[in-house]
Chain A
């Protein structure tokens, strides 16, 4: 079973705060993804990457930055958090790309006050 871990698991911040969500996968997958999950919207893709140093824009990128520092590590950055970014965030990895199983991390629940 592929291993994807996320930290922190829960985070509370205030409007305008700076938040970094971390994701690590140990399965040598090239592709990694950040999703947010909200009631009524399912899983929406924020950013994704197909390798260290690469970044691709997803469907809901506004207000988010991301960085893929190594094959294992993918970070999601909220530099000026807003209440609309309160959500459940999932990281996932897969190989190759969209044509195989996506392995999801346990999720990070973010609350922006």
Chain B
């Protein structure tokens, strides 16, 4: 299978706290894991990605972790701000011509 499961579907956090989104994938050959952010009324945009030769990647308040053994990867947003409120999608790819998206997480950062 190629399904990507994403949880939670809705995440509400207080401004300044951290937020975590978790995804699992089925295909052990998957080797590329991007994360997209979609703001209201906008299109999805890549914010960070990780390849299977890494276990951790960090950029500008975003951390992604990859556990290949468990077929699990996650996005952690530190010090959340109202501007982080958006829909977030994880995805996985396996050298195929396409990627497989999770169903999305609606993040709400409360001031």
Contacts and interface: CB of A to CB of B under 8 A. Distances in A.
Interface residues of B, number: 23
Nearest to A45: B98
Interface in A54-75: 56, 58
Interface residues of A, number: 22
Contacts of A84: none
B95 interface: yes
Contacts of A58: 98
Contact of B89 (A43, A48, A50, A101): A43
Interface in B33-57: 34, 36, 42-46, 49
Contacts of B49: 101
B98 A33 contact: yes
Contacts of B42: 106
B85 to A, nearest CB: 17
B44 A90 contact: yes
Contacts of B104: 42-43
A53 to B, nearest CB: 15
Given A43-B89, A90-B43, A90-B44, A97 B98 contact: yes
B2 to A, nearest CB: 9
A105 B45 CA distance: 10
Contact of A101 (B46, B95, B97, B98): B46
Interface in B68-111: 89, 93-99, 101-104
Nearest to B102: A42
Interface string A75-113: 000000000000000100000011101101111000000
Given A43-B89, A90-B44, A105-B43, A98 B101 contact: no
Interface of B: 6, 9, 32, 34, 36, 42-46, 49, 89, 93-99, 101-104
19 contacts: A33-B98, A40-B9, A42-B101, A42-B104, A43-B89, A44-B101, A45-B98, A48-B98, A50-B97, A56-B98, A97-B96, A98-B94, A98-B97, A101-B46, A102-B34, A102-B99, A104-B44, A106-B43, A107-B43
